[in-house]
Amino acid sequence: MPYDRLQRRLTESGSPTVTTLPDGSIDHFCTVAEDAAGSLETRDAFGREILGDRSSLSFAVETTEPGGQAVNTAKQLHALGGSVTCYGHLDAPIFESLPFATVSMGAPAIVYVFGFSDRDVMFVETSEVAEWTLAELRRVGDLSDVFGGDAVCCSNWSSVKGLGSAFHRLSDADAPRVPFVFDPGDIVGCRSDEVADLLDAVTALQDTFDVVYSANRQEVRTTAAPLSGPFDDDLARLAAIREETGITAAAMHARDEAVAVTCDDRLRVSNYGVERPVRHTGGGDRFTGGLGHALACGWEWDVALACGNACAVYYVESGSTGGPKDIAAFLDEQPPVES
Q: State how many domains the chain has.
A: 1
Query: What integer pLDDT is reported at residue 57 of this predicted model?
Result: 79
Interatomic CA distance for residues 290 and 311, integer angstroms: 6
Instruction: Determine the Cα angle at 136 with ends 132 and 137, to 5°.
Output: 110
Query: At CB < 8 A and 24+ separation, what contacts does 329-338 make?
Result: 331/3, 331/6, 331/7, 332/7, 334/3, 334/272, 336/1, 337/3, 337/270, 337/271, 337/272, 338/270
In a domain, 115, yes or no: no
pLDDT greater than 80 at residue 309: yes
Percent of the chain with pLDDT over 70: 97
* Residue 218 per-residue DSSP state: H
CATH number of the domain that residue 204 is part of: 3.40.1190.20
269 forms beta bridges with 258
Q: With bands split at pLDDT 50, 70 and 90, how would you rate the model's confidence at 311?
A: very high
Query: What integer pLDDT is reported at residue 241 of this predicted model?
Result: 98
In a domain, 33, yes or no: no
Alpha helices per DSSP H over 176-300: 192-205, 217-224, 234-245, 283-296
155 forms beta bridges with 183
User: Domain span at residue 17?
Assistant: 2-26+67-108+127-333
Interatomic CA distance for residues 295 and 249, integer angstroms: 11
In a domain, 196, yes or no: yes
Q: With bands split at pLDDT 50, 70 and 90, how would you rate the model's confidence at 127?
A: confident
Query: Which tens digits make up the pLDDT trace of 190-206?
Result: 999 999 999 999 999 99
